[in-house]
A = this chain, B = another copy of it.
Amino acid sequence: MLSKFLPFLTWARRYTRADLGNDVIAALVVTIMLIPQGMAYAMLAGLPAQAGLYGAMLPLALYAVFGSSPALAVGPVAVVALMTAAAAGTVAEIGAPGFHLAALWIALLSGGMMLALGVLRLGFLANFLSHPVISGFITAAGILIAASQLRHLLGANISGKTLPEVIPSLAANISGLSVPTLLLSALVLAFLFWSRTGMARLLVHLGMSAPLAKLLAKTALLVAVVGSTLLVWGLGLDQRGVAIVGDIPRGLPPLGLPEFDLSLIQILAAPALMIAIVGYVESVSIAQTLAAKKRQSIDPDRELVALGLANLGAGVSQAMPVTGGLSRSIVNYDAGAATPAAGAITAILIGIAVLALTPLMFYLPRATLAAIIIVAVVSLLDFRALPRTWAYSRADGAAMAATMAVTLLIGVEQGLLAGVGLSLFLYLFRTSRPHMAVVGQVPGTEHFRNIARHAVVTDPTVFSIRVDESLYFPNARALEDRIMQALADSPDLQHVVLQCSAVNYIDASALESLEAINDRLRAADVKFHLTEVKGPVMDQLERSHFLHELTGKLYLTQFDAMKSLAPDVTGPCLQAARCDSRLSAI
């Protein structure tokens, strides 16, 4: 029972020496990525470099205890960093003391919300963020992240949170760029992009085994960091306009709740909720993908609890908000992480780095961190998703396009809200105009299909209609109108049969519509029948008077109804040959 809440009790009992070896190797590789990425994402979030490093310590340790995914690498990630910068930017300027305070409260609030949603098992609410919306959002966020790094890559004073702010600022300030910074950025970017494929190939060419070469290629970030730091220090580039990271406090983060400020919390609650949801959705989809590869499964609600605790940990240890990151998780998985202990070992390694290595990072150029961010977000961009989604479904495509456009032009929170709102609106709009099919018997079977799409047999005295939607208030009237029209069009009509195979729910408005249909058909001396009513719908109808007032009958199947109402047509048609003559007649 306890192990349900503390998954580590399960795996810790069976932990072997081989597991430890695998976990240490994975942790080493992840740490080498995480030190530069953590500092880079802290810069992206507008926070001091140590906030990123601290975000890779206590939160990782907490996730290792409460999380269920062995492969998920928790820590600072780009999209959450961008959202944090946007939210904290509404209460303070970057660099002002209130800014870091706001980021801590965002971590605490989103952590608390994740924890509450997980405990209440409300993780499914995150499903309201549809795939097209999240995919469009991530691509747009990637573009904004890249744009936000132009100031560091060029060494020019470019600002702005959305494209309409960044582009004029770029045009106005491009002339003030720092040539040494630009050259350094170009060098680091070229090396990092080359390293993604070329480095492993070169190492193999030099005689190394392929798996080792692939693993060593992951040190490219470290090579870039060390190389560019040495370059700046050796050539004194910091005196020539190249911005550097500077002092990073040595030692472990102080623990404690940040200063309490109710008005701050009220402002940050809504963005914190969005950060919680985006962070959760990203993290859980990575964890599920990696779990599926090993035929394992993860419990989304438990993931929420673990991520919530990780963020609460971030909030009390001067760290930035965290979640599961795609690139590091894949590296973690590929490097063979066996259990969540890999995360705990990573946290220890980062702690050692913070205790020992921070003075070495003094001359680390900010341009290198910006280049690391650029390389990371390029993999987030998926421009082909929009045409692909649009081709499949106009509604999904529109939601995706709206999310991207609003995110790029107005802001990240507004973009997400626009996407979710439009998705829901378009769904409701669709259900308010349901597809209805007049059906007939497929010859030789007991099956009934749309007369407009299949060669089927019908009887002029029976109007059989299938409505392809639950009957509820936005569409209650549509069925009424369709049946009244059929009544006006068919002088021989004696029976109207409503096939309810696609009706999953009948609300009170629709019940009134059915009663109205029944009354009006009764007045015209036409009977009203229902077929294939599902169990839950039947339970509901039995709580009303409708079934007593129904002029016709309830049939288990459409075939039963037709056998009884139009026996001359329906029975013989079970033998396909016998109804071919009828088919040709319609």
Show the binding face of A for B, using Cβ within 8 Å.
Answer: 124-125, 127-133, 292, 295, 297, 389, 391-393, 395-396, 423-424, 427-428, 430-435, 437, 442, 445-447, 449-450, 452-453, 468-470, 472-478, 484, 501-505, 507-509, 511-512, 516, 520, 523-524, 534-536, 540, 543-544, 556-557, 559
Contacts and interface: CB of A to CB of B under 8 A. Distances in A.
A153 to B, nearest CB: 35
A520 B447 contact: no
A290 to B, nearest CB: 13
Contacts of A435: 504, 534, 536
Given A446-B559, A469-B504, 19 more contacts: A127-B474, A130-B473, A131-B476, A131-B508, A131-B512, A292-B516, A297-B484, A392-B540, A393-B540, A396-B508, A396-B509, A427-B428, A430-B505, A442-B557, A445-B559, A447-B559, A452-B535, A468-B534, A501-B501
Contact of A432 (B127, B297, B396, B473): B127
Contacts of A450: 534-535
Question: Which are the 10 A-B pairs with shortest beta-carbon distances?
Answer: A130-B473, A396-B508, A131-B509, A446-B446, A468-B504, A501-B501, A447-B557, A130-B509, A502-B502, A453-B535
24 contacts: A124-B432, A125-B432, A127-B432, A127-B477, A128-B473, A130-B473, A130-B509, A131-B508, A131-B509, A133-B473, A295-B523, A392-B543, A393-B540, A396-B509, A424-B428, A427-B472, A430-B505, A445-B559, A446-B447, A447-B559, A450-B535, A468-B534, A468-B536, A469-B504
Contacts of A524: 295
Contact of A437 (B395, B453, B535): B535
B543 A391 contact: yes
Contacts of A445: 446, 557, 559
Number of copies: 2
A507 B130 contact: yes
A536 to B, nearest CB: 5
A391 B545 CA distance: 11
Contacts of A128: 428, 432, 473-474
Contact of A131 (B130, B391, B473): B473
Contacts of A536: 435, 468
A314 to B, nearest CB: 27
A132 B509 contact: yes
A469 B469 CA distance: 8
A544 B127 contact: no
Contact of A292 (B452, B509, B520, B543): B520
A472 B420 CA distance: 13
A455 to B, nearest CB: 12
Q: Which of A125, A509, A543, A559 has the most CB of B within 10 A?
A: A509
A334 to B, nearest CB: 19
A132 B432 contact: no
A297 to B, nearest CB: 7
Contacts of A544: 392
Q: Which of A131, A133, A536 has the most CB of B within 10 A?
A: A131
Contacts of A124: 432-433, 474, 477-478
A121 to B, nearest CB: 11
Contacts of A501: 501-502
A404 to B, nearest CB: 15
Nearest to A468: B504
Contacts of A478: 124
Given A543-B391, A559-B446, A473 B423 contact: yes
Contacts of A534: 435, 437, 450, 468, 502
Contacts of A430: 505
A461 to B, nearest CB: 20
Given A297-B484, A535-B453, A130 B392 contact: no
A398 to B, nearest CB: 11
A132 B509 CA distance: 7
A47 B449 CA distance: 59
Given A432-B127, A450-B535, A535-B453, A508 B389 contact: yes
Nearest to A487: B295
Nearest to A505: B430
A89 to B, nearest CB: 29
A519 to B, nearest CB: 8
Contacts of A557: 442, 445, 447
Contacts of A295: 523-524
A475 B127 CA distance: 7
A395 B507 contact: yes
A556 B442 contact: yes
Given A124-B432, A535-B453, A392 B508 contact: yes
